[in-house]
Structures are given as structure tokens and as C-alpha cells.
Amino acid sequence: VVKKQAKSVPPPYRERVARLRRVMARRKLDGYLVQNRMDQFWLTGFTGEDGFVLVTARQVVLLTDGRFDECAEIECPWARKVLRKVRTPARTAQELRKYRLKRVGFDPGHLTVAEHTGLRKAARGIRLVAIPGAILDERLCKDAGEVAAIREAIRVAEQAFSKVVKWIRPGVTEAAISARLTYEMQKLGAQEVAFPSIVAVGPNASLPHYEPGDGVVTRDQGILIDWGARVGWYVSDLTRMVWPGRVPPLMAKIQRIVREAHDRAIDFVRPGVTAHAVDRVARRVIEKAGYGPRFGHALGHGMGLDCHEAPRVGKGTETVLKPGMVITIEPGIYLPGKGGVRLEDDVLVTETGHEVLTSLPL
Ligand code: ZN
Ligand code: ZN
């Protein structure tokens, strides 16, 4: 017989564990195995890179190893800690048996085929039930603490950008700008970059996911910079255009169109509308201007602990926006061989509408 959770679960984890238990009850599960690191962090505060969190009706068990012993002690002393010597499916199955579990949920997006096959064999008699996005869905709406962390990640990214822009001059390379951004963000308190920065000069900007290289800044070409910081595990994600000199007329034109798509989409953000509808508002502006085929990606995405999390703000996403969701709005027009323009801001859905969390001028 396993004794009850020794220590009570502190906020905000108490509420989050309770929410997961409600999902478990709905799906008639007596256990849920959390493998994704960000899911584990959201649920327990544990940041160790290796382990499982097992939630049962009464227990939150952290199955990890000696390397993360101290980390677990500091971050979630309330969880029942089990330090495993081997990380085999048999060891995990042993833990499931200890609680006499019959139906255990997991996220098929996070368990590899090999792990699933191994666990199924080792845990014979225990039904493993795939529940896609069980925790991701709960992560959709951010609480006040999470929004505060995102604001901080934005502040760091914006301050770093302002410093780097003052330093950019003809002759510097894309790679140097990217490195400088990383340096400034970390100096300002970022744990790391939220994702590898995109810095694209001139025609390179027509590739939405360009990797910075030896492109050199000149006076007559635009620079597209897409960057973000991770602070307190939460991220920011912005895109700005920098024009070291005159803006070429064609680029000025597409920037005006992208700006209008961006502004109108943000105006439209409010609780009750679908993510798809927000995308459509921006897409219509770009289509009417004749550049529809040159806007080849979704308008935006949810963000929080991951840079790209639900909801995708694009065609076919029927997710209805709710207060607490944080999404990016990032329309773009890309002209192969010529260049591209994208503008990206981070927007919080509020009770009455929205708040643009980012504040750098466009
Ligand atoms: Zn971005
Ligand atoms: Zn983005």
C-alpha cells in the first residue's frame, strides 16, 4: 500500500494537477504518464531533462535519476520522487504496477514508437491509452504568472534588439547580427534564445525560415530579423524589418500591405472568434493586394513554454480564442530573388478583446 502524498501540492501546480485529473476522470484513466519536458515543467515545476511524471488519482510521482535528485528536491519537493537506476520500459512498468493501474494515458506526440512498444510489452495487462495533447490543451490559456513570464521574455528580446539595431551598419554579416542578439539577450537575463534567430539581408528574406550566414548588410537592402528570448522558461517571438538606408519602392509597397494585414488581424483578435477567422482577416488584405500566393504560411501560432504551441492561427484551425491565450500575428509577403517583409507581434487574448504585449515600433 502506497501512502498518500506526503506534502500538499502548492499553487499553481495544485490547480494544474487537478485539471489533469479531471481529464483522466473523463477518459476513465487511473494514471497518466507525462513525458514531455515542458509538460512536466508546467505540471510540477520540475526542469530536469530526463524522467517521467506519473499522475494517479492520489499521487504525483517523479521518476528520474540521481543527476536530477537535487533539482527535484528544490523544484518539486512535494512530488513523490523515485530515482531509477535504469531507464528501461521494465522499470517504468514496475512503477505503474506499484499503483495497480489499469488504464494509463500518454501523449502519442511525445512517446517514441520504440518507447511505446517497449512499455506495452513490459506493462502487459495495463492498457496504454493515447490522448493527444491532453496537457497541451490545458496549457492553451495562460494564468497571470505565465503572462508575466512572457512579458519578461518580450522585454528582454526588445531591449536586446534596440541595442543591436544601433550597432548594425553596412558591412556586418547576418551571422554577426544573430550572435550579437544572442549575447545581448543573455546579458539581459535570457536563459537562451527562444529559437535560432533568423537574420536575412535583402533577397535572403524571401525564405521565411532562412538561416543566417554570410549575407552582408548594405545601405539599400532590408534586413528581416525574427528572434525571441526564453526567460523563466517562457518565450517571446518577434519579427522586425530594419532598413539601414532608403527603402526600395517595391519593398515599401509590400511593407505597407503587410502592415495593414498585421493591424487588421490584431484588431480582430478577441474571445469567441476562431483562430482560422483571424488568419482570414490578414489573408484577405494580402490577397486583395494581389500577393495571396506570396503569403505561404499560417498567420501565427500560440506561444508559451514552446515557441510553437496550439493554437495554430491558420486555415482549418477551429479553436475558438479564449482569454489567456497568447498568439503571434505574423503576416508576410515573400518575393523570390527580391526580398521579403514579415512583421510579428505577440498578442494576449483578454476578457474584452486583446492586448498587444510587444511594444517595439514597427
Ligand atoms: Zn518569429
Ligand atoms: Zn512566430
- Strand stretches in the chain, DSSP E: 31-34, 52-56, 60-64, 80-83, 103-106, 127-130, 192-193, 198-201, 223-227, 229-231, 234-235, 238-242, 300-302, 309-313, 326-329, 332-335, 339-342, 345-349, 354-356
Q: How far is the CA of 34 from the centre of ligand 2 (A)?
A: 26
The tens digit of pLDDT for each residue in 321-355 reads 999 999 999 999 999 999 999 999 999 999 999 99
Q: Which residues pair with 347 in a beta bridge?
A: 327, 356
The 10s digit of each residue's pLDDT in 53-79 is 999 999 999 999 989 999 999 999 999
124-130 contacts at long range (C-beta below 8 A, 24 or more positions apart): 126/93, 126/96, 126/97, 126/101, 126/102, 127/102, 127/103, 128/104, 129/27, 129/29, 129/103, 129/104, 129/105, 130/105, 130/106
- Give pLDDT, residue 8: 87
Give the per-residue pLDDT at 7: 72
Antiparallel, parallel or unpaired: β 127-130 and 103-106: parallel
Q: How far is the CA of 124 from the centre of ligand 2 (A)?
A: 42
Q: Report the candidate in 316, 323, 308 with the shortest Cα–Cα distance to residue 276.
A: 316
**9 CA → ligand 1 middle, Å:** 35
pLDDT of residue 205: 94
Q: Is the dihedral of CA 157, 160, 164, 165 positive or negative?
A: positive
Query: Which residues, listed in sequence order, are joined to residue 193 by a DSSP beta bridge?
Result: 229
Euclidean distance between CA atoms 91 and 278, whole angstroms = 47
Measured CA to CA, the distance from residue 66 to residue 50 in angstroms comes to 10
Under 8 Å between Cβ of 52 and 63: yes
- pTM for this entry: 0.94
Cα of 151 to ligand 2 centre, how many Å?
16
Which numbered ligand comes closest to the C-alpha of 303?
2
C-alpha cell at 138: 490545458
Q: How remote is the CA of residue 306 from the centroid of ligand 2, in Å?
A: 11
What is the whole-number distance in angstroms between the Cα of residue 155 and the centre of ligand 1?
15
**What residue ranges of the chain have pLDDT lower than 50?**
1
Ligand 1 ion: nearby residues, β-carbon < 5 Å: 226, 237, 344
Tell me how far the alpha carbon of residue 337 lies from the centroid of ligand 2, in angstroms. Answer: 23
CA of 239 to the centre of ligand 1 (A): 6
Report the chain's mean pLDDT, rounded to a whole number. 95
**238 C-alpha to ligand 2 centroid (Å):** 7
Closest ligand to Cα 239: 1
**Ligand minimally distant from the alpha carbon of residue 226:** 1
Cα of 293 vs centre of ligand 1, distance in Å, is 20
Q: For 175-196, what is each residue's pLDDT tens digit?
A: 999 999 999 999 999 999 999 9
Ligand nearest the Cα atom of residue 227: 1
Q: Which three cell numbers stand for residue 102?
A: 489499469
What phi, psi does 105 have (nearest 5°)? -85, 155
Residue 8 CA to ligand 1 centre (angstroms):
39
User: Measured between alpha carbons, how far is 297 from 302 in angstroms, rounded to an integer?
Assistant: 14
Tell me: cis bond preceding 89? Omega within 30 of 0 counts: no
Strand ranges of the sheet holding 238-242, from the earlier edge strand across to the other edge: 198-201, 223-227, 238-242
Nearest ligand for residue 198 CA: 1
Q: Specify the amino acid at residue 138.
A: E
ω before 12 within 30° of 0 (cis)? yes
Ligand closest to Cα of 157 equals 1
